[in-house]
Amino acid sequence: MTVSSINRRDFVKSSAVLGSTFILPHATVKGSQANSRITVGVIGLGGRGSLIAGFLKEHPGYEITAVADYFPEVSDDAGESLGVEPKRRYSGLLGYQRLIAGKVDAVFLETPPYAFPDHVEYAVQHGCHVYMAKPIACDAPDTLRVQANAEKAKVQGKVFLIDYQMRTDPVNIEIVKRIRKGQIGDFGLVHSIGFGNGFLDPPHEAGIASRLRNLAWVPDDALGGGNLVNYDIHAVDAGLWIADGRPTSAMGSSRMVVNNSNSDSHRVSSVTFQFENGVIMNHISEHFRNVNDGALDAYVYGTEGYAETKYWGKALLRSNLGSHTGEVENLYNNGILRNIDTFHKSIVEGDVSNPTVQSGVNSNLAAILARETAKQNGLMTMEQLIEENVALPVDYSGLVE
């Protein structure tokens, strides 16, 4: 699949087909030979986790020594294809603990995001490097919990990477670089778009196990963060990248629209963020199974020109002071590959600057702020979101440890 041809159905489909989590060996890699292989454990072997596991298997710098997934058949199938010995294939709610206790250098976390805070905390406690998907959590308190553990990892000399892709693309990077240099002049408006095609929304059964497959957890606010926090966050992150900061407040509205939804994530929303420097950013979102093409874009309008950053398609900058354009190529895969390389290089070189942590936390909090203010149909400040510290409880009853 190429990014130039991908649409939102393909994006969701490929996300469902790919996915996994990896964990690297417990020993410190810094100081080892440049060709040393980092042992990893993958936690979460759904669509994305399985895709990443496949990339890791082919990467000369990694060795997958353990896998974990809630469902034993998923863990066994992945372990078989990846060459992981049966005793290092873990399952159940606490399978991640057994994997980490088995000694790995790093973990790749690719489970539904409600589980990330516990997984991150346990991995950092046991001295692992951490590579994790976004969103990093489903609510504000868990987002701050991940941030606190990322800071602990840095103190320990461990690498911590949050896997966003748009900021790794060469065309998007060049456009943002030109914006920073003033090529579109002073800008005051950023506009981001998250159009998806809707995720599976099966009826609720006893316990949450039935929603832990095939991305059915995405539109559940407590399990996946909901449409805004899980899918649209790519575009929100790109908008914050351009605005170069974290919003101070947001106001918006959202609606479910459909009458037969089994999930609690609203299908349409419009949110306006404000930043300390006066920049305004508007985000719009829709998640219907209709014929609209998908979009994960961020636009910016300035006194001398405008620019468009993209997840797929043609990104561009047009200005009285010069122009730049280029195709964003296969970002879903290429962004992962670039991040996997960066993760390995950082571990080997002992680089714990961990630049994706703050931007990842900012985008997560901004997306949560958008979801909450839109559902309340009102105004909310970032300070209020953090001070209220409202958690989304998850019912673990019925799950096997």
pTM of the model: 0.91
pLDDT at position 151, please? 98
CA angle 62, 341, 114 (to 5 degrees): 80
Q: For helices 47-58 and 8-17, give the axis angle rounded to 10 degrees.
A: 70
DSSP code for 90: E
d(C-alpha 40, C-alpha 67), whole Å: 9
Asked if 56 and 107 touch (Cβ cutoff 8 Å), the reply is no
DSSP assignment string, 186-232:
SEEEEEEEEEE-----PPP-SSSGGGSSTTTTTT-HHHH-HHHHHTT
For 143, counting Cβ atoms within 10 Å of its Cβ (0-12 exposed, 13-18 middle, 19+ buried), the class is buried
pLDDT at position 206, please? 78
d(C-alpha 65, C-alpha 79), whole Å: 9
Residues of the chain with CATH 3.30.360.10: 166-388
- Nearest one of 116, 8, 94, 107 to 62, comparing CA atoms: 107
For 362, counting Cβ atoms within 10 Å of its Cβ (0-12 exposed, 13-18 middle, 19+ buried), the class is buried
Asked if 18 and 43 touch (Cβ cutoff 8 Å), the reply is no
DSSP code for 378: S
pLDDT at position 31, please? 35
d(C-alpha 129, C-alpha 27), whole Å: 10
Q: Which residues in the chain come in under a pLDDT of 70?
A: 1-35
Strand order in the sheet with 187-196: 324-328, 313-319, 305-310, 295-302, 187-196, 280-287, 268-274, 249-255, 379-381
CATH superfamily for domain 8-162 = NAD(P)-binding Rossmann-like Domain (3.40.50.720)
Beta strand extents in 197-353 (DSSP E only): 249-255, 268-274, 280-287, 295-302, 305-310, 313-319, 324-328
CATH 3.90.1640.10 applies to domain 166-388: no
pLDDT at position 36, please? 77
Query: What is each CA distance from 254 to 175, 371, 378, in whole angstroms?
Result: 31, 8, 10
Residues of the chain with CATH 3.40.50.720: 8-162
d(C-alpha 225, C-alpha 117), whole Å: 13
